[in-house]
Structure formats: C-alpha cells, structure tokens
Amino acid sequence: MMTGTADPAFVEHLHAEKLRTQENRTKYVTQKLAFVTGLMSLGSLSIGGSTAAFDFGYLLLLAPWVATAFDLYILGEDYSVKRTGAFLRAQSPSGAERTWEAWVSRHRDHFAPVAMPLLTTIVLVGSIAITAALRRVGAHAPVSLDEPLTWVWYAVTLLPCWFLYVYYRRLKGRIEEWAAVLRGDQITPFAQLAARARRSDHILDDATYRMASRLYKEIEKDRAVLEGVHGAHGESTQAEVLLCVDRQGEPVAVSDAILKDYRRRVARMPDYGRWFQEAALPNGQRTLLVARWLSHAAGLRHRSVHLFLDHPVLHDHTLLQVRGFTKAEAPGLLDLPAAGHVSGLDTVDVTLDRELQEELGLTLDAVEDLTKLGDYDYTDGRDAEYRSVYRGRLKSEDLLRLSGDDDEVAAVATVSVKMVESTLAQHPERYASGLRGSFAMYREARNGPDC
C-alpha cells in the first residue's frame, strides 16, 4: 500500500502527461465530428435522383461504426485523465491540488461522457433517416428498411456504443476504489465498500448494502478472519449503532429487498447483527442502523452534535478540550469541549447530555443559553457526517466541577476566541476537524448584533 506524497519532479511529469491526454481527447472529439459529417454527406449523394459513379450509400452503414471507434479513443483518453487525477488527489505534495482534485471528483461533468454515445445514436438515426429519404425519392439505398434483418443490423450497431459507456462508468468506479487504497484511508478488505459508498453519496442504498453483505459472507467463512476484521477497528468493541442520513440530515429508509435479505441473514448468522440492526423511523419507515465501526470503515454519513461552551466569567474566552492521546482519530489535538455521534435514534438533548457526561463530567443542566447555530454536511475521505452545531455558556458553579475520562479528554483549556481564530488560520493542523469545520458558525454567532 502506498502512502505519503510523490516526488515533485514526478508530479510535474504527470501534469504534463495529463495536459497531453486532455489535448488528445479534444483532438479525437474533433476528428469524430469531422469524419462522421464527411461520411454522412458522401452517403447522401444520391438524394434527389442523381446517381454517382460510385454508390456512396454504404457509407451510411459505416458512419455509426466509425463514431463508435472514435468513442474508444475518446473514452481511453478520458480514463487516463481521471486516473492521473486520482493519483494526484492521493499523492500530490500540494495540499491545494489534493483538495481541488477531491472537489472535482465529487462534482464531475455528467453530460460530456453521455454525449459520446448519444452522438453515435444520433448518427445512426440520421443514417436511417437518409436511407428512408433515398428510398422515397427513388434513389438507390444500401438496405431496405422493410427487411427485419436491417433493423437487427441497426440494433447490433447501436449496442457497442452504449456498452462502452456503461463499461466506462464501471471503470471510473474502479479508479475511486484504487485511489482509496492508494491513499491508505481504508483498511482492506473495506476499500471497495468505501468506494461504493462514495458513489452512492455515502448512504446505505441497495448497491452498498449488497456489497457489504457479500463482504460479510466472504469473511464469515473463516471465523478467525471475521474476528480479525472486528478487532482491526478500535471501535468494534462498542455496541453503538448510527443512523445513516442524506446530505440534508434526513434519515435514509431502506428498501423492502434490503430488509428481506437482512432478516434472512441475521436469522442464520446472529453475528450479522454486529454490522446492522433493524429500526423503525418516526415516520413509520424501516431502516438499518449501522455499527459505528462499520459506518466509519465504509464512509456512511451519520449525524453528530458539536457544542461550543462560552466561559462563564471571561466573555471573550471559550473552552476547548485536548483530545485523549490514545484516541484513534486526532489524538492530542484541540477540539470542541463536547461533541459526539448521535447514537441510533437518540435526540440531540440525549446526545449532548451523554457527551457532556463522558467528556467533562457534567450534565446538560450545567449549560445556560443553549442555542442551535446551524447544520452542515461534512465529507473528508472516508469520514462523512451531518453536523449540528450548538452554543451555550457554562454555569459559574460548574466551572470547577469539570472532569472526565482521561481516555476521552486529556485536558480542558480556557482560550480567548481571538487566539483560536488566529492559530486556526495559521496552524489548522493543531485542531481536530470538528472544531475546524464548525468554528465559522460560532464566530459568526459571537459577532452578531445580539452578542
């Protein structure tokens, strides 16, 4: 498995190669249009009753195949561009380039790839239309549209271009799987599952569930392997399950097919319940809650709650925690004083109360003026969360009662908001992603007219 960043000189070579490939792709698109237009024009020379010395009508049958041949070249060059981009997203020494490539991979042009088979289809339809016109004016046509075999031929002509398009989409998916392994952000054998979840926008749809169930079936054949997979995740010993949500934070219901398969599997293999648990949503729909470790390993979006705590006396100061040094994620970094996942179908109040107890040794009663600042969707590699951000002020009498689990919180610090803002801009690597992503909401709320 490759990790780290590539040599800058090699990256420059990749940039040049990527530019050449993009130029080749453009060249092939232009040549496709030119060749197809020429063939269609020559093939229609007999329209109007004039007869050429050579029967160009057969070129009408050739034009769609030429267009499909150019599609092979175009898709090949486009695949090379995507492949290079995936490598740069994982290995470029420039953080800005990695961020850009990651953003591009999530917001690709969905129209250009489908334009290629669509144009070939239009060429085929044009070929049929010109052939019909030739027959209508009494000119010689290469085929008869009254013959069933003619339509079989046209169908056979159409299939390759759309097969190429479907196959190309699968290849692009494999690039994402390969890039995930290259970045080292997934543990084998979950790399493919995580790539599948990314293509499904980090939700548990039918395709993602089927891959997870197949993965379980493969691993379950060897009990030692199954326990090894569970043991490879620091969170696998926790019984916590998470609700999968979409970009708007709405719960994702599962299909009847998923429910049927889940019930059949868990009846035969009780350990399957360590991966998924069935639950009823408030609207009556059914869903599967996902084990916390599996949700993180597969990159499925789940809810989390973030709480900023103002100092009870120093109004320009806020409380921060130093994350426990044994935590799997961001050990020793500065973070919000209290934050955590919303377990199962829990409410925000229940979650805040639990996180305050675990991390600071307090309850929600110790917080005054609790206010919701907003929500946002956060995605970074395998981590996908829908975050709800809150702000409150710690009561004065509870300031000296701060305590917590040393594994969760190494220390609690009182820091001026201006200092947080300054160091966050200069040294963001010192802060956990939760504080980095949510601080803008907190700062805006503090600078508002009512603060």
Within 13 Å, how many C-alpha atoms sit on residue 399's CB side? 14
> What is the average per-residue pLDDT within 259-287?
93
As a whole number, the mean pLDDT across the chain is 83
**Residue ranges of E strands in 250-300:** 276-280, 286-291
The pair of three-digit structure tokens given for residue 401, joined into one six-digit string: 């009662």
User: What single-letter amino acid sits at 208?
Assistant: T
Continuous segment of H or E residues that includes residue 416: strand 409-416
Contact 445, 391 (CB under 8 A): yes
Residue 178: pLDDT above 60?
no
Q: Give dist(CA 315, CA 201) in Å, integer.
A: 41
pLDDT level of residue 237 (50, 70, 90 thresholds): very low
Q: Give dist(CA 412, CA 335) in Å, integer.
A: 10
Residue 403: pLDDT above 50?
yes
**Higher-confidence position of 293 and 222:** 293
> What is the average per-residue pLDDT within 115-140?
81
- DSSP β-bridge partners for residue 391: 308, 371
Residue 161: pLDDT above 60?
yes
- CATH assignment of 303-446, among 3.20.20.70, 3.40.50.300, 3.90.79.10, 3.40.50.2300: 3.90.79.10
CA proximity to 101, closest of 181, 29, 175, 204: 175
Map tokens 């079936």 to a residue: 217
> What is the average per-residue pLDDT within 42-60?
62
**Least confident span in 89-98, 219-228, 426-435:** 219-228
Tens digit of pLDDT for each residue in 75-112?
888 888 888 887 787 777 777 777 777 777 767 777 77
Residue 406: pLDDT above 80?
no
> What is the average per-residue pLDDT within 294-302?
92
Residue 43: pLDDT above 80?
no
DSSP-assigned states of every residue in 49-110: S---SS-GGGHHHHHHHHHHHHHHHHHHHHHHHHHHHHHHHHH-S-HHHHHHHHHHHHS--S
Domain boundaries along the sequence of the chain: 8-184, 193-298, 303-446
Provide, rounded to the nearest whole percent, the portion of the chain with pLDDT above 70: 85
Residue 442: pLDDT above 60?
yes
pLDDT at 421 (0 to 100): 93
pLDDT at 186 (0 to 100): 44
pLDDT at 166 (0 to 100): 85
Residue 48: pLDDT above 50?
no
The pair of three-digit structure tokens given for residue 394, joined into one six-digit string: 């710690």
pLDDT at 8 (0 to 100): 78
pLDDT at 232 (0 to 100): 53
> What is the average per-residue pLDDT within 322-329?
81
Contact 322, 413 (CB under 8 A): yes
Residue 210: pLDDT above 60?
yes
Tens digit of pLDDT for each residue in 367-393?
999 999 999 999 886 689 999 999 999
pLDDT level of residue 157 (50, 70, 90 thresholds): confident
Bridge-based pairing of strands 409-416 and 317-323 is antiparallel
Tens digit of pLDDT for each residue in 332-355?
899 999 999 999 999 999 999 999
pLDDT level of residue 218 (50, 70, 90 thresholds): confident
**Higher-confidence position of 54 and 441:** 441
Distance between terminal CA atoms of the chain?
51
Continuous segment of H or E residues that includes residue 390: strand 383-394
pLDDT at 239 (0 to 100): 77
> What is the average per-residue pLDDT within 125-130?
85
Q: Give dist(CA 253, CA 203) in Å, integer.
A: 10
